[in-house]
Amino acid sequence: MCETDKESPKGLKIITLFEFLKKFKRLKPLEPSPGVVGFFFFSVCLILCLFLLDYKTVSRGFLTHGQRGLITWVGLNGSKSGGDGRVGFLEDGGGDCDVFSGNWVWDDSYPLYKSENCFLADKGFRCSENGRPDNFYTKWRWQPNDCNLPRFDAKNMLENLRNRRLVFVGDSIGRNQWESLLCMLSSKIEDKSSVYEVNGSPITKHSGFLAFKFRDYNCTVEYYRAPFLVLLTRAPAGAPKKVKTTLKLDQLDWSFKLWKGADVLIFNSGHWWNYQKTIREGCYFREGEDMKMEMSVESAYRRSIETVMDWIESEVNTSKTQVFFRSYAPVHFRGGDWKTGGSCHMETLPDLSSSPLTAESWIRLKIAVEVLSERSEKSDLNKLEFLNVTHMSSRRKDGHSSLYYLGPETGPAPLHRQDCSHWCLPGVPDSWNELLYVLFLKWANARADNSTELPNTR
């Protein structure tokens, strides 16, 4: 026969559910048990403490590897950082702020434009129109830790670009950024016909260059496709059979003569500097007439950046032309790459921690930083701006085109053919351009303070 009460092996009394209910029923509502009351208040306090801890963790960010975490929740009401004690980047005392050290914060007033309202974006970047069901990736704003950025003002930037040329040179991620800036600038242009490609070319993937003119400001925003920055040529006579093409590491891409005379130059490179797109495809390296069959991709990449720096030092007046070098923007393939079924389509939020960079991202960043640092100590290249977007972009696994790059008439791509390299527009490249904007204004203001005018090279 079962006993009502019995001792457990550890000496704890065990009672049946029936006995528990009988005892509970005997409790008088107006004379609560001290034990029950104490337990109730202890539970409430514990819950409140856990809630407060969680709130502080989210609002202040997770601390990993000595860095602040990625996300700072500021509410879904479009609240800005104003009034938080940070100085404005363009205000007195804000100029030394590291704008690349910060967090992604939710801002319901974003995005700065909608893709359906921008006629200058390639269909491959129009994720929402191509079927992406969420728009969370458009709502994140970059917030530096120690200062506030002014909101992007298209008319202000266009006014500062009046009678001038802004030129992007690089790979298709550079084109991604270029189209982002075109959308940002054209968002405040009422007469859309006043913005046009100077040769009448459509804005799509191509092998040459495109230049869009903003007629009312007499300025152009141009893109030159040069994925390696240096010259890609056929294999020389007598080269080994496995050599299909060569990269002349001591010569710039064929389009370099067209870059000269720009008032703002933005270089980027890195996405094509890997084994898959070079040596595996039979693309080897060359300096002068010497084939460098044993040279590593990393060494060749370093040499290519040095060649670009040589050209800037000898051919560009950095007192009149502002030069940027944008760092490598990480990819976020999981389980493979773009050829082997890598994916990112399930990502809808940024990383909540400051995860370390992948080996590929770290090497690309390290090489660029080392070359630019070495040159800036020895020449006038200390005026070159390093647009360091690697760390901030590494946290945005949610921002890629993934399945949504084929156009609305085609629909999402197959699961095994995802694009986790390029970025949706509006999206992450807009934040790169917001940083470009404030650094451009800082440069323009400094020149104005020196009682000089920005150069007119038209």
> Among residues 253, 422, 430, 431, which one is catalytic?
422
> Among residues 419, 421, 430, 431, which one is catalytic?
419
Q: What angle do CA 416, 418, 423 make, to 5 degrees?
A: 175
In contact, 409 and 346? CB cutoff 8 Å: no
Angle, in degrees to the nearest 10, between helices 359-378 and 297-315: 30
> Among residues 172, 186, 343, 431, which one is catalytic?
172
Decide if 419 is catalytic: yes
Which two tokens mark 1? 């026969």
Q: Which residue has the tokens 């949504």?
A: 404
Rounded Cα distance between 315 and 259, Å, is: 10
Decide if 379 is catalytic: no
Decide if 422 is catalytic: yes
Total Cβ atoms within 10 A of residue 240: 10
At 83, phi and psi to the nearest 5? 85, 5
User: Of 440, 402, 436, 407, nearest to 422 (Cα)?
Assistant: 402
Residues facing 81 on adjacent strands: none
Query: Looking at the annotation, which residues are catalytic?
Result: 172, 419, 422
